[in-house]
Amino acid sequence: MMRSLFAGVSALRNHQVRMDVIGNNIANVNTIGYKAQSVTFKEQLAQTLRGAGAPERGRGGTNPQQVGLGVDLGAITTIHTPGSLQSTGVESDVAIEGNGFFILSDGNQTFYTRSGVFDFDRDGNLVSLLSGLKVMGYTARAGHLDYTRGLVPIEIPLSTTLPPTPTTEARVEGNLDARGGGPAETTLRVFDSLGTEHDVFLSFSQVGANQWEWIATDIDGNEIGRGELEYDTSGALLDSTNSGTIRLQPPGAEELEIELDFSRLTQYADETDVSKTWQNGFPSGTLTSISIDVDGRIYGLFSNGRSAVLAQFALADFANPAGLVKADNGTFVISANSGQPDVGAPGTGARGSIRPGAREMSNVDLSKEFTEMIVTQRGFQANSRIITTSDEMLQELVNLKR
């Protein structure tokens, strides 16, 4: 009878723990990146009243007689199924589609999270808005991601600038009137090693049947390039004359040597038009905004119209995510049973991809939690009746003395 009292007490205590877990799940139904937990019970050690007997002397064997001593917690398991994604429109909000965790650090300890609520602080550090921890990843040098440095805090200051790119190639497109009619002129705008703009003036003059001469001059009228163009009878430029070179020495900058491409310049009996030009140089630019792709690469958009990769998120995958230990602010830390993190770029290995402008919601299923609540409540009520009934039986036993 006393065993039934203790069994009932153990059941009340553990059903209360189960209700605590359910209550915490429901409380976090709208928590970004929250992972629900479930409780599993196990039977406590049973007391053996009589052991098993082997068959002998023509009689069959007997089974053991045991009385259980109640219930105990078997496991409280974190369920790492993905939550639904909610679009926020905030570029620095990111979610993971698939396996993996974002990597955060306070400089001493590493944390892992599915909550990608990030933004940049005043120093340009990408941090979690929930904890202030820095987001770890890979940085870029000269427009290329550098994986040799390993994981570093992602830092993109607002003062980030893109250095100028001097012009090395240029192209002129259009048509030169096969009927002649005077020279054709166009202006080619190029950039030096300091990002300074320079105007190069190109003029085309017909010097014979299907033959033209081009001359390039700088703003002071100095000749910086000359060549000939020769066309076949169908108006197509001969390969031997479809290119040229100009050299310009800007003050205080490196000499510009620019390869000119005339391969798209035709000669038909049509109006002359050589106004369409292209060149590959750019001035310097300051950072105006960022964008993130599905591979977690962070691109900077600059005032000169260019974009360049600046950094990339890193993701960590685990052999046993359920073995991670919950920390505060929606983070986890490794344990002896989680395994070591497998760190790499999103979309590589078993790691998932990145969804920019979205957040991963809680994976709590309210219908399941309410069902578990009812079952837990009934279990608590039933076991409270065990205690009440055992107490009444003990009271009857005490009353035998009267």
- Specify whether the CB–CB gap between 47 and 67 falls below 8 A: yes
CA distance linking residue 363 with residue 370, whole number of Å: 14
Across 277-286, b (16+ Cβ under 10 Å) vs e yields: bebebbbbbe
The stretch 264-288 carries a mean pLDDT of 95
What is the mean pLDDT of the segment spanning 221-233? Answer: 95
Q: How many CB atoms lie within 10 A of CB 300?
A: 23
pLDDT band at 396 (very low <50, low <70, confident <90, very high): confident
d(CA 300, CA 311): 9
Helices (H), 262-365: none
Asked if residues 237 and 230 have their Cβ atoms less than 8 Å apart, the reply is yes
The predicted structure's pLDDT at residue 61: 87
- List all residues 6 or more positions away from 346 whose beta carbon is below 8 Å from its beta carbon: 96, 100, 294, 295, 296, 312, 313, 315, 352, 353, 354
CB burial class (10 A; 0-12, 13-18, 19+) of residue 190? buried
Query: What does the DSSP assignment read for 340-363?
Result: --EEE-TTSTTB-EEEETEEE---
Q: What tokens were used for 261? A: 């491409």
Structure tokens at 314: 């890193």
Contact 134, 108 (CB under 8 A): no
**Helix, strand, coil in percent for the chain, rounding step 5:** 15, 45, 40
pLDDT for res 1:
55
Q: What is the DSSP letter of 82?
A: P
pLDDT(301) > 80: yes
Tens-place pLDDT, residues 62-82: 888 888 788 889 999 999 999
- pLDDT score recorded for residue 402: 60
Mean pLDDT, the chain, as a whole number? 92
Mean pLDDT of 322-334: 94
In this structure, the number of other CB atoms found within 10 A of the CB of residue 52 comes to 11
Range(s) of the chain covered by CATH 2.60.98.20 = 169-279
Cα angle, residue 46 at apex, residues 40 and 49 outer, rounded to 5°: 160
**10 Å Cβ neighbour count for 199?**
11
**Domain 169-279, classified CATH 3.30.1300.10, yes or no:** no
What is the rounded distance in angstroms from the CA atom of residue 383 to the CA atom of residue 389? 10
Q: Residue 319: what pLDDT?
A: 94
Residue at 118: amino acid letter: F
pLDDT at 45 over 90: no
